[in-house]
Every structure is written in C-alpha cells, then in structure tokens.
Amino acid sequence: MNGWTQSRRALAVAALTATAALGATATATADQPKTPVEIGIDQLTQAVGDDAAGKTAVADIARADQLVAAAKLENVQFTSFWYQAPTLGCGFNMPFSLTNAMAVTGISGGTTSLPPGNVSFQAMAQQNGFPLASGLSVAWLNVNNGRSGITALDDQTEYNLPALSKTVDTGAGNVIASLWGTIDYPAARCVVTPTVGLFTVSDAPAVQPTIPATPDPNAPTTSGAPTTPAQAPDNSGQGSPATTTTAPAAPNPDAGSVTPAN
C-alpha cells in the first residue's frame, strides 16, 4: 500500500466523521422543542394568513421579542405604543396623518384598575367626528407564558358606536402587541398601518380607591375641646371675704376694786 492510497483512506474517514457529526447536530436541533414564544408567533402567522398588514404586524412582534430577549427587559410600564401609527385617507393633514395607540395595563402608582392579567388596547385617530365602524385589530404575544391571539377592537359605547378599544385577558407578564386596521368616519376611512409596543401586565388584584366620606351639613357640630360638667360655686372659702367674729373679753373681778392699805 503506497502513501497515496493511505491519504485517500484518511480523507474518506475524515469526511465520514464530519458527515456523522453534522447529522447528529441536525438531529439534535430538530428534536429541540420550540419555546412558548416561538409557538405563539407560529400561531399568529397562521392566524393572519395572507393579510399583508397582519404579516407586517406579526413580523414586528417577532423583532420586538428579539429586542426584549437581548435587552432582558422586565416590568415595562410604557402606556403608548412605541410610535404613532402612520395613517392614510383621513386626518387633519390629508391624506397622511397619525393614529395614537395605547395600552392600559392597570399599573398606576402601585395600584391596578383592571382585573389581574388583563390589558385594555385603545386607539385614537386624528379625525373629527364620531367613528361609525371599527376594523382595527391587535395581535399580541405574552413572552412569559406564550399565550397569543388576534383580537378585534370592537367595544361599543353607550350610544352603540365603536369605542376603538378592547380588554384582553393575556395573563400576567410582558406583552408585545401590534395594532392595525381601518376606522370608518362619516366622510373618510382611516387606514392605520401597524405599530408595535411592549407592556407589562400585572397579576395583582384590583385595588379600589378609598373615597372619603362626605360630611353631613345637617349634623350638629361639636367642639374638639373636652368638656366638664358645671359645678356649683363653693362659697365656703371663695367669692366673698371671710367674716371673723371676736368674742367679748370676760370681765375681770378685780378690776375696779381697791385694796385698802394696811
């Protein structure tokens, strides 16, 4: 066996070893279970289907999740989305305007105004008049528990008009959300492009504010000073000067008599 044959065999063994290592790595990667966040993003991708705006929203959520993981962000109490949503077809500066999107997580000075694990998404366009119909949607992903969903902002006001809001049970944790859709007004339709935000949802129970009692104007007023019952005046040693009566002196039997001299 010459040196050339030995070299070829050595190369063949090295190639087989590398192939086996690559195969083992690929098998290990394929067997790795997906994280809850990855599962949530997959579910959002399937839910939006071919909707171009929905795909953009889900992509924004995926990029935001990478930012959260890299920066190790926790307890994020932003109330507005990261930027106002560019909006077409309505507004004060038609045909381009901005829509403000926000999320109320219930965290305010250490107290909560929403049930535990809930967040209220809201939007407000730069358009005069009352909205007639809402086509807004919000895609959300809780990066702590993996829950996700796409929810329509279909709450109604007391006048049966769109409130442009929706309360969602996301569970406690950091929630990444993206909002987009349309809003119909009497004379315009606002096309809201996706915006993204990050919010911390509380798991603390709601704390009701304490309302001070209203004083009754008809209630009798009392002085804060302590009171003591009145006492009858004591004239034995006070009030008028004491009168001293002097008894007359007893008569001296010898007074006025003269003893004769001897």
pLDDT one-digit tens code per residue, 82-117: 899 999 999 887 788 999 999 988 654 545 467 889
Rounded Cα–Cα distance for residues 230 and 237 (Å): 18
Q: Cα dist. 155→18, 33, 78, 136, 168 in Å? A: 59, 38, 23, 11, 11
Determine phi and psi for 162, rounding to 5 degrees.
-60, 130
The pTM of the whole model exceeds 0.75: no
Rounded Cα–Cα distance for residues 85 and 193 (Å): 6
Q: Domain 36-201 maps to which CATH number in 2.60.40.10, 3.30.750.24, 2.60.40.1930, 3.40.50.1970?
A: 2.60.40.10
**pLDDT at 25 (0 to 100):** 47
Rounded Cα–Cα distance for residues 136 and 161 (Å): 14
Rounded Cα–Cα distance for residues 39 and 32 (Å): 13
User: Coil, strand, or helix at residue 5?
Assistant: helix
Neighbours of 141 (CB within 10 A): 28
Rounded Cα–Cα distance for residues 68 and 76 (Å): 10
Rounded Cα–Cα distance for residues 128 and 97 (Å): 12
Neighbours of 166 (CB within 10 A): 19
Q: Is the pLDDT of residue 164 over 70?
A: yes
pLDDT tens, 184-236?
999 899 999 999 998 888 776 655 555 666 666 676 665 555 555 555 555 55
Two structure tokens written together for 157: 């006001």
Rounded Cα–Cα distance for residues 69 and 121 (Å): 23
**pLDDT at 262 (0 to 100):** 44
CA 136 to chain centre: 22
Give the E-state strand segments of the chain in sequence order: 85-88, 96-104, 118-125, 133-134, 137-142, 148-152, 165-169, 173-185, 188-201
